[in-house]
């Protein structure tokens, strides 16, 4: 880490598969104040206190700390990063208290909170991030109540709600998100009753509905109305939470 810390012109740093790297060791990266992108993955000894170091890097536009447990105090350190556009904290333990700090990051365009403890109360803060284009909430505690708040995020292009308590009523609440072209609803309580709502998303290109009660006939009906729509299933294939590149 000390050697990397001497590369003061570095703009992009990714630390992957480094179980020997500790939070104390990463402190040696403090001279990298010009970093624009920082990501860590599969580094088991790193802790959420890493955000204190990151808060001293004002040019950061992208942070990915997936799998690193963070506290509300850790998350609050990020409020100083006014240029931040991308923040991924999936599998991090982010909760409703942490969401209040996240709401201060008004420049965010992508926020990934998959498999965290955030729920409806937290979304009441996230709704302030009106510039968000992609929001990942799969595997969280959000319910239909959150959908009313998410309806405020008019710039959303991708919304991922798989493995949550969302029902047809909740989906109806976001029917006004006209820019949506990616929607993840795997393993939710969405049914064929939502077909009229799904049909209203004129720009929809990717729809994930594995594990719902929407029938093949109903899926075919959607595709007939929107031939460019890619629905999973059919055919059944591995759905990924990594957002695809928008078609030209």
**Which residue is associated with the tokens 């629905």?**
231
Check residue 204 and give its pLDDT.
96
Reported as a single tens digit per residue, the pLDDT across 59-78 is 999 999 999 999 999 999 99
Check residue 89 and give its pLDDT.
97
- Tell me which residue of 90, 40, 88, 92 sits closest to 70, measured CA to CA: 92
147 in Cβ contact with 123 (< 8 Å): no
Check residue 239 and give its pLDDT.
40
Check residue 59 and give its pLDDT.
96
Residue 116 C-alpha from the chain's centroid: 10
Check residue 35 and give its pLDDT.
95
C-alpha–C-alpha distance, residues 208 and 243, integer Å:
11
Check residue 19 and give its pLDDT.
83
Residues in the chain: 248
DSSP letter for 189, please.
Answer: B
120 in Cβ contact with 97 (< 8 Å): no
Check residue 23 and give its pLDDT.
85
- Tell me which residue of 26, 77, 18 sits closest to 51, measured CA to CA: 77
As a three-state string, the secondary structure of 67-136 is CCCCCHHHHHHHHHCCCCCEEECCCCCCCHHHHHHHCCCCCCCEEECCCCCCCHHHHHHHCCCCCCCEEE
Reported as a single tens digit per residue, the pLDDT across 102-117 is 999 999 999 999 999 9
C-alpha torsion sign, points 48, 49, 55, 56: negative
Q: Identify the segments of the chain with pLDDT beneath 70.
A: 234-248
Mean pLDDT of the chain: 91
C-alpha–C-alpha distance, residues 191 and 123, integer Å:
24
C-alpha–C-alpha distance, residues 102 and 37, integer Å:
18
Half-sphere exposure of 78 (CA within 13 A, CB side): 34
């Amino acid at each position: 880490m000390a050697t990397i810390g001497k590369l003061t012109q570095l703009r992009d740093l990714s630390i992957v598969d480094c179980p020997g790297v500790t939070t104390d060791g990463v402190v040696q990266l403090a001279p990298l104040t010009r970093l624009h992108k920082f990501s860590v993955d599969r580094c088991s000894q790193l802790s959420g206190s890493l955000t204190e170091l990151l808060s001293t890097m004002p040019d950061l536009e992208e942070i990915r700390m997936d799998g690193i447990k963070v506290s509300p105090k850790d998350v609050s350190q990020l409020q100083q990063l006014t240029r931040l556009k991308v923040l991924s904290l999936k599998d991090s333990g982010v909760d409703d208290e942490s969401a209040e700090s996240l709401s201060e990051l008004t420049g965010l365009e992508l926020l990934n909170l998959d498999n965290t403890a955030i729920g409806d109360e937290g979304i009441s803060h996230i709704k302030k991030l009106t510039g968000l284009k992609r929001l990942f909430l799969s595997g969280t505690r959000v319910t239909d109540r959150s959908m009313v708040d998410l309806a405020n995020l008019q710039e959303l292009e991708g919304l991922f709600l798989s493995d949550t308590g969302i029902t047809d009523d909740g989906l109806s609440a976001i029917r006004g998100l006209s820019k949506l072209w990616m929607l993840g609803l795997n393993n939710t309580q969405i049914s064929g009753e939502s077909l009229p709502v799904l049909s209203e998303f004129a720009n929809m290109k990717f729809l994930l509905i594995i594990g719902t009660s929407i029938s093949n006939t109903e899926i075919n009906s959607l595709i007939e109305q929107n031939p460019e729509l890619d629905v999973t299933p059919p055919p059944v294939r591995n759905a990924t939470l990594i957002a695809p590149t928008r078609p030209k």
